[in-house]
Amino acid sequence: MRIIKTKSYEEMSKKAANIIASVVTLKPDCMLGLATGSSPIGTYDELVKKYEAGDLDFSEVTTVNLDEYKGLPKENEQSYYYFMHEYLFDKVNINPEKTYLPDGTNLNSEEEAARYEALVQSLGTVDLQLLGLGRNGHIGFNEPGDHFEDGTHCVDLKESTIEANKRFFESADDVPKQAYSMGIGTIMRSKKILLVVSGEEKAQALKDSIYGPVTPEVPGSILRFHPDVTIIADEAAMSLIK
């Protein structure tokens, strides 16, 4: 596990974008696993800048997203489909037919989880998986629990996750209570994992993920078993780590 400490969110985002850009440059037809939420927005902004400068070509890239809210249509501004198009897909030359997310409008949880897992597996191995870290240590929407989920599944979101995400909605009542998420097993099968963490509110989760016991109660702790993980975190997120 490689840990990079940065002074700011902006520096974190630039370093993360450089790592992703190197993967795309060395393997133009790579498969990227993508994350949503506030943590990777700066990374996507930096990737767009590289594309606009003529330094990056996404035309052969395939992407698979970690998760999607169950019940939200694609055109909903809080859906992760909308998020990805707003911050990355519509700003670069990626082929939309090669971008994949769980279908939040499929309310049959078992059917959608099985469909998306089979799809991801059929596409091959993810070359680089980008992750954020939840305040409770979740990765993707794999919430703290009594076991690590292997494949894509439907998650009942914890109150702490709903509370953290309500800032994106008019009220907490509007936050979906379930989501589809890649499982821990799916994430861990990626060749390379890049975790970006920013903010003092993530400090305890980051410390527990790096130095606490490996436990499904802190889903991020499983990353210590992956052979190629890079963590980029700003000073605030690293504030509890000496």
Active-site residue set: 67, 136, 138, 143
- In the sheet where 229-234 sits, what is the strand order? 2-6, 229-234, 193-197, 128-131, 31-34, 62-65, 99-100
210 CB neighbour count, 10 Å cutoff: 21
Give the span between the Cα atoms of 40 and 215, in whole angstroms: 25
119 CB neighbour count, 10 Å cutoff: 13
169 and 72 in contact (C-beta within 8 Å)?
Answer: no
CA 10 to chain CA centroid, Å, is 18
Phi–psi pair at 201, nearest 5 degrees = -70, -15
